[in-house]
Chains A and B, each alone.
Chain A
């Protein structure tokens, strides 16, 4: 109980939920079928009332959202890569001498991947949150509570994926809630419901892991050797992700850390932080919250 690293069979029990808590829910994002439509980004914003994030043409392929942040809880990455012989008959045209002579390129692969908060088994953001704003839900997901968050920002640096962030004009921290409100009502999160090609799959984490294993085997069988799972392994540096991925290249290519580690793995005790938080609450907590409500 109260583990900070390593595999964990029942993350909810570890967070104090009774044995009859619901199963751990998560996302399996299969990027091999992503068409980069960004429905997930919009559906998320519509549901969660997340404000727009500015109008900037970045020139980074079709990615004008750039990264996950306080006002971007789903982010579709676009990676344009020259096609090299990866033994991948299903992606992109084959290398063709004449084509390459024609345009100085040898064909292209265009990878797309919808990124999201990983809802880690060992969540750095949650572990360092001094106010109790971040908490583990009964579904095993990690959620910031806007009525509690005071914008201290500890969580921001504690996230090994760079997911959570403070919203500038608001001050508080925001990120994907895995549509906690919808889950409570037995609904599918907005992004997964919208996803046209089932690239984003929502369900019980155990079941998703099995599904992902099957999909990986199927792709390998078809010769797509580059396919690999990311965040699937319960023994990795964050104890496995609640939201994990099937990728068609190295994680770095998609802007994902190759070997994320929860910072609290090296932390002596979180009780120190709790102490800070208690002091903060007693001293200035109430003042910090007033005037931050919309």
Chain B
């Protein structure tokens, strides 16, 4: 019986690898390349002890712990710094990769009806899930091995072979663990969208739990599966226990997924789709309200999710903005007000680093909304709308309006959450005005990013992947720029580089004006393209 359930798994794995090879290769090369390049960069910038000691001070601060993960004590080499600072970020990238690939493979194929066709052949019930699992194993462990080799090539001082393999494969297994979460969520609900939302919900909870325990009590981080990547103690104790825990977690999650898969029907989940309304409500009366309705769930989930994320970051302001804690002597030297303003300066510095993360995160649902013009065109949802007296210009303007509202709303919610977190944690919280200023400065660059997305969807929808690549590049440049001691020019490649210091500095109006002008031009290019080109 068991063997019957897995008939043709090997064949389907090969088939899936062949079908996805380009995507898998790009992910693997990009991830391993980034990892190795940063490792090599670390070798040159942290070559002497003075440089290491100075960056260590910064990295030990609660702000950096929140962003990059907990720095273990007794760090002394550039390899230690690399291991401590890169793991959380690379693990996040692995989560994104695994979620997108696994959910597409499982729910995506099921939605398009491919699963049904395949299952009609002499193929086992569980073979498709089995094939995806094997694909995930090959991909994640392959990338893990590339990491290990990359570390050996980059030749950081303070590495050892065991540590190289632990860090590389550990990250690989972490990715695999999240592939198992995505596989499990794909069994529970009956569509790709809900699976994605659910999977990210699991990850979001783990991320916030990891961040708070890292700051309050790092031992507690052991309870958080996402926190296990921080527990390798690479190049010091080289502890393989977290890897073992990940493997156990992965086995359990996949076993559950297989169990549910064997019980459920194709196109169904544990939770069935509820029936909808018999008639449309009065609000659903045009394309604008249609787009709002289609993206309602996404807007709500992102707004609430990022409000919570903002709040969590805000609630550590008191830890971050307390220089007395790290240096009690300062109280003697400086007056009370001087200390307060120093604390505020540190918090503002922290906010300026958070801003890029917040901006990138709030751009995701906005970009998705504009991309949806292309997706629903490809899927044929818009076919009948095009036959209605609804001009393309209206569709386009509706889509970019909903996208802009979404992004600006989500960003506002995040900053408001941040403010509330500050109020909750600090005796003398930062005024709302500070956050409003940061928000105002980030409007123009986010609009440029949305404008670029619109321009690409309007003129060359096939290149839509570039939008996410550019967004990721912007994140990496801003997020790691300081740590990698990058020169000034890469920062200037993205619109965020021109307002980076907000709210430490105020954005200058000229910058805002020319950025808005560029955004308008980009939206205009998209408009011209979309109203003239062939639709699918």
A, B from the same assembly: no
Interface residues of A (CB under 8 A from B): none
